[in-house]
């Protein structure tokens, strides 16, 4: 899935002197407060972190007394969906006007009716609301379906994604993956069919006495030799 990245950052964490004998725990507490919130410093929602190094030489900073700064290097795992990237999520609600999805268990996404391609039609099936494909009856989106969709925008404050199912490569992940395998297999079969007649034609040409590459080279050599004799 797109929208995930690892970012390295050099940070300074401000610790109260009362925590001076528990610096490591205080630093981890501060970093934990960033989890599942959008950070402008690393340009993404912090999902996890790993502290690479911790500077043991902390300094009291003028102007922010009595706090002291601890420098550290951190690797962050970030959720940073950008427009036109693909996300995957689980459908939790479906209505005639929209599809509601949860991404990674915490970020809500909504796909409005105008952003659902015409191939899909809303209907009631066995008492449940579904979006079913008109071109393939097995391509169905319902509550519980894992779908792949395109990002239109991302609200950083409320961690809300606005998505789209307009592109052909979006929809039910199960159906898309299976369909891609079928298409890929069909492409390989078609390629074999194209190669086989070419081989047959080459073999047939040899049988019919068509000029081979060697024949053509020999014929050109003979012509040059004949021309040289005539000039002399």
Q: What is the C-alpha end-to-end distance of the chain, expressed in Å?
A: 76
Helix, strand and coil content of the chain, in percent to the nearest 5, comes to 30, 40, 30
- pLDDT value of position 68: 80
**How many beta carbons lie within 10 A of that of residue 51, not counting itself?**
15
Secondary structure letter of residue 195 according to DSSP: H
**Which residue in 142, 140, 159 sits closest to 87, CA to CA?**
159
- pLDDT value of position 60: 58
| 67 in Cβ contact with 61 (< 8 Å) | yes
Along the 232 residues of the chain, how does pLDDT read in single tens digits?
899 999 999 988 888 888 878 888 888 999 999 999 999 989 999 999 999 876 655 555 555 567 788 889 999 999 999 999 999 999 999 999 999 999 999 999 999 999 999 999 999 988 899 999 999 989 999 999 999 999 999 999 999 999 999 999 999 999 999 887 654 444 455 555 555 555 545 445 544 554 444 444 445 555 555 555 455 5
CA 92 vs. chain centroid, Å, equals: 21
- Domains identified in the chain and CATH numbers: 2-77 (3.30.1490.120), 83-173 (2.40.50.140)
Cα gap 195→197, rounded to integer Å:
6
Cα gap 151→48, rounded to integer Å:
22
On the 0-12 / 13-18 / 19+ scale of CB atoms within 10 A, 41 is: exposed
- What is the DSSP annotation of 32-63? HTTBTSEETTTTEEEEEEEEEEE-S--EEPTT
Residues 6+ apart with CB under 8 A from 115: 152, 162, 163, 164, 165, 166
- pLDDT value of position 214: 42
Cα gap 36→165, rounded to integer Å:
26
- pLDDT value of position 183: 45
């Amino acid at each position: 899935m797109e929208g995930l990245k690892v970012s390295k950052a050099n940070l300074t964490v401000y610790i109260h002197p009362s925590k001076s004998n528990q610096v490591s725990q205080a630093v981890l507490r501060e970093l934990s407060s960033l989890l599942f919130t959008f950070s402008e410093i690393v340009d993404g929602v912090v999902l996890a972190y790993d502290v690479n190094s911790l500077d043991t030489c902390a300094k009291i900073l003028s102007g922010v007394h009595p706090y002291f700064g601890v420098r550290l290097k951190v690797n962050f795992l970030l959720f940073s969906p950008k427009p036109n990237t693909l996300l995957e999520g689980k459908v939790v609600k479906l209505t005639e006007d929209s599809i509601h999805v949860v991404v990674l268990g915490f970020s809500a996404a909504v796909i409005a009716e105008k952003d659902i391609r015409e191939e899909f039609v809303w209907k009631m099936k066995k008492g449940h609301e579904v979006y079913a494909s008109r071109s393939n009856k097995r391509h169905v989106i319902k509550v519980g379906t894992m779908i792949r969709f395109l990002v239109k925008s991302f609200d950083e404050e409320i961690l809300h994604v606005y998505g789209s199912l307009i592109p052909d490569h979006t929809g039910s992940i199960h159906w898309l993956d299976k369909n891609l395998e079928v298409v890929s297999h069909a492409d390989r079969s078609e390629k074999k069919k194209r190669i086989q007649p070419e081989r047959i034609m080459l073999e047939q040409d040899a049988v019919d006495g068509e000029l081979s590459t060697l024949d053509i080279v020999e014929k050109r050599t003979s012509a040059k030799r004949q021309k040289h004799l005539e000039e002399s």
